[in-house]
Amino acid sequence: MWIEERSTEAAAIEPVIAADDAPPAVRPPVAGVVAGAAWLAAAAVTVKWPDLEETPHTSTLAALQVAIGLTALALSVGAPWLRAAGRRLRVAAPWLLALALWVTGWQLATAKLGLLPRPFFAPPQALIEVYVEDWRRLLECTAHSLALLGAGFLIGGLAGFGAGVAIGWSRAAAYWGHPLLRLVGPVPATAWLPLAFFVFPSSRSASVFLIALAAGIPVAVLTWSGVAGVKNAYYDIARTLGASPRFLVLRVAIPAALPHVFVGLFMGLCASFSVLVVAEMLGVKAGLGWYLSWAQGWAAYVNMFAALLFMALVFCGLIALLFAARDRLLGWQSGLVRW
């Protein structure tokens, strides 16, 4: 009797298991299809609707729109079999649709209808022209900016991390460090520009100092907060097992504070971007900030908008790299920390 009841229960459960293990229905994501169709419609507007003035690279823009639209449609059709790519498409499809609508509206307001005055507002075709003709200068300026940003952010991040650990762990360091952070922290790093360019021997060293200052303050404050917020139970357990003070700092306090440290690094990186642009506009002879100032001086507004878009993409990539490093280093805390 018991065996028959178990067989009946197993028979009732089997369809559920089979349904869970069954392959997903072959149904492409609707949002991806709509986004792909929107990009193809944008390409049709680019080609079929004549420009008010002859604008180069209109065909290039249309080709890019067609390529994006066909790629979105292909990924949408193959989403049930692509697994990870299909899931990413479902997440990115609303943004693809919004970008298609935005590019179409931008083109209508500039090249097609002339609602926005030129040369202050340029169509997207004009930005493509800048990237095609001036890509060498943009890459050279990007290399200078990344070198300057890397040096300042590395120095500021290391100094802020060391100061934050010392203030959070040592009472003596906290006694001297708290007033300094309260005094210097609220002052924007750009306010130190006149003093920095007077004290340091070169504009590059002054710019590195300003970027390091902008990056170091948030890292120091968040690291200090993370180390000071570690639960005493962690230290008690480690001391019970015979841990030394050095072990408590390196193996207990710092790992527990790493989520706060990465928040500080993110805030410091964002602050470094603004300081980098201002420093390059005033004292450095190369870089993306210098390129913006040069384009504004020559009233080359198309170059200025192209540099702004390129700068946003570069900085967005750097933030993505920082998040990837955080996920890699803090994977062991994924069950404790909510991302």
Q: Return the residue matching tokens 């507007």.
A: 45
In terms of C-beta density within 10 A (0-12 exposed, 13-18 middle, 19 or more buried), how is residue 119 classed? exposed
Q: What is the 3-state secondary structure (H, E, C) of 185-250?
A: CCCCHHHHHHHHHHHCCCHHHHHHHHHHHHHHHHHHHHHHHHHHCCCHHHHHHHHHCCCCHHHHHH
From first to last of the 339 residues of the chain, give the pLDDT tens digit: 444 444 444 444 444 434 444 344 445 568 888 989 999 999 999 999 988 888 788 889 999 999 999 988 888 887 777 777 667 777 888 899 999 999 999 999 988 888 888 778 888 988 898 898 888 999 999 999 999 999 999 999 999 999 999 998 888 888 888 888 888 888 888 888 888 888 888 888 888 999 999 999 999 999 998 888 888 887 878 888 887 888 888 888 888 888 899 999 999 999 999 888 888 887 677 888 888 888 888 888 888 899 999 989 999 999 999 988 888 888 766 554 444
Q: Which amino acid is at 258?
A: L
Rounded to two decimals, the pTM is 0.79
Domains, the chain, ordered by start: 13-130 (no CATH), 135-331 (1.10.3720.10)
Residue 14 has φ and ψ, to the nearest 5°, of: -55, -45
- Written as one letter, the residue type at 130 is V
| Predicted pLDDT at 337 | 46
Task: Tally the residues of the chain.
Answer: 339
**Residue 28, Cα to own-chain centre: how many angstroms?**
29
Residues 6 or more apart in contact with residue 158 via CB below 8 angstroms: none
Distance between CA 305 and CA 124 in Å, rounded?
10
Cis peptide before 28 (omega within 30 of 0): no
- Angstrom distance (rounded) from CA 77 to CA 33: 8
| Residue pair 72/35 in contact by the 8 Å Cβ criterion | yes
For the chain, state the CA radius of gyration: 27
How is residue 114 annotated by DSSP?
A: -
